[in-house]
């Protein structure tokens, strides 16, 4: 799996396809599939209902403890990158994938990402790095890509009913506007904006993501 991952990423133009519900309002299939490597997350499952919006191809899938059961919806032969940021790093839960995965970071490395966004390991009702942010850091730190592009990343700014959020295969989290607390730090967005403005990554922004003092319109 590691060899396949290297072939898919070494000096490649890579797109990370986020699960914003706004993806369904755009026909992005051709754009997404123009990249050498398409990376998807969790419940971001391409179906015949959304192919025009999100495309069909998946080359790498990223999952964590909440959504690893979705493996059957993705090709058998693709690498699976695993994100452990949701759990206490000192112990593994009873449920763990029964298929091969590549853990993106060691515990020590992951704790440095917690520190980067001001999060704490297993803090009750505290903040933790999102899968998208962990993935961005993984590709920046460990992959020798040619270009890295984000699409479908809105940092949970799009309103969606709680029921729809839990049931929709297109949104891996309930957006901020429908939660009593935000499990992910606003620092994630600040860091990604900085990466974008410095040209380290590209970011296909689908709409105005203006929140507070960050205006990306």
Judged against a pLDDT cut of 90, whether residue 88 lies above it is answered with: no
10: containing domain: 2-204
Indicate which CATH number applies to the domain containing 139. Answer: 3.90.1480.20
Residue 128 inside a domain? The answer is yes
194 and 214 in contact (C-beta within 8 Å)?
no
Establish if 214 belongs to a structural domain: no
Question: What's the rounded mean pLDDT across residues 144-163?
Answer: 75
Total tally of structural domains belonging to the chain: 1
- Looking at the chain, the whole-number percentage of residues with pLDDT higher than 90 is 33
Q: Given a cut of 80, is residue 159 above it in pLDDT? A: no
Q: Could you tell me the pTM of the whole model?
A: 0.82
Asked if pLDDT for residue 216 goes beyond 50, the answer is no
Specify if 100 maps to a domain: yes
DSSP 36-66: SEEEEETT----TTTHHHH-S--SEEEEETT
What pLDDT digit, counting tens, does each position of 27-51 carry?
Answer: 899 999 999 999 999 888 888 888 8
Average pLDDT over residues 11-15: 98
- Domain assignment present for 211: no
- Angle, helix 187-197 to helix 131-142, in steps of 10 degrees: 40
């Amino acid at each position: 799996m590691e060899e396949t991952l290297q072939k898919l990423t070494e000096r490649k133009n890579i797109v990370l396809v986020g699960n914003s519900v706004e993806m369904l309002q755009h026909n992005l299939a051709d754009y997404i599939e123009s990249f050498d490597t398409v990376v998807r997350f969790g419940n971001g499952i391409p179906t015949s209902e959304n192919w025009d919006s999100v495309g069909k191809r998946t080359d790498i899938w990223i999952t964590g403890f909440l959504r690893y059961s979705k493996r059957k919806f993705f090709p058998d032969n693709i690498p699976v990158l695993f994100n452990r940021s949701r759990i206490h790093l000192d112990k593994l839960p009873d449920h763990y994938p029964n298929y091969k995965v590549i853990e993106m970071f060691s515990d020590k490395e992951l704790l440095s990402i917690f520190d980067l966004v001001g999060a704490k390991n297993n803090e009750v009702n505290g903040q933790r790095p999102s899968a998208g942010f962990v993935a961005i850091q993984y590709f920046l730190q460990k992959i020798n890509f040619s270009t890295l592009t984000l699409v479908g990343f809105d940092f949970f700014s799009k309103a969606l009913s709680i029921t729809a959020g839990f049931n929709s295969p297109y949104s891996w989290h309930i957006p901020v506007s429908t939660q009593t607390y935000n499990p992910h730090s606003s620092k994630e967005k600040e860091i990604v904006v900085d990466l974008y403005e410095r040209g380290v990554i590209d970011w296909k922004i689908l709409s105005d993501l203006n929140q507070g003092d960050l205006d990306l319109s």
